[in-house]
Structure 1
């Protein structure tokens, strides 16, 4: 007797809206390709483009030239995270080893707000 298989489920069908990936076409080194990322990552990349006065295509091309063996999507995600981590260090003047919160197990307000992205409720804005 053959084992029963679960019906196929579209990955985005059960994910919260903020985690449903979006596929967009971009041009990298003159060739068209598609990249699939979550809306927050696309928005973050757009913010970087605005700050740096570069297009998504320009940034993707620069990342592509440095990504080594990783996928373009993975390299873009790492770039986005790295960009904002570096911006945080520069804005706060604190290296990771200098940042202190309330002790082991405690979280900063920034951490809590970042985790709110997974909430199905609308997060309240916390005061800094």
Structure 2
């Protein structure tokens, strides 16, 4: 899977900064910000404010990974619960 690095300027806490991320991460950020009803700048500001160390691009990548990993685990648990309830109903 090839995803080129794209550099974009974004305003974070009133300051313009450049962030370099692979296109897949930009797409993930757009999806997350839309789901939360916030702008991309607001989401990046939230991530920036919560990071302990490292650079902003790394913090964003970790945030996106954690977001989608959490969703995948929840979906798997939900599907597993459905399977168990269907088996119980058929017995």
**TM-score using structure 1 length:** 0.57
Residue aligned with 2:38, SS = coil
Q: Aligned equivalents of 2:3 and 2:74: distance in 1?
A: 29
Is residue 44 from structure 1 mapped to residue 44 from structure 2 by the alignment?
no
2:15 match: 31
Give the structure, 1 or 2, with the largest relative contact order (CA under 8 Å, sep 6 or more): 2
* Unmatched segments (≥5 aa) in structure 2: 79-91
Q: Aligned equivalents of 2:37 and 2:27: distance in 1?
A: 15
2:48 match: 64
Q: Matched residue pairs, number?
A: 79
Q: Aligned equivalents of 1:92 and 1:19: distance in 2?
A: 27
Is residue 19 from structure 1 mapped to residue 29 from structure 2 by the alignment?
no
Runs of 4+ in 1 over 4 A off after TM superposition: none
Q: Aligned equivalents of 1:70 and 1:29: distance in 2?
A: 18
In terms of fraction of residues, the more strand-rich structure is 2
1:123 match: none
In terms of fraction of residues, the more helix-rich structure is 2
Residue aligned with 1:19, SS = coil
Q: CA RMSD in A?
A: 1.7
**TM-score using structure 2 length:** 0.79
* Unmatched segments (≥5 aa) in structure 1: 1-15, 95-128
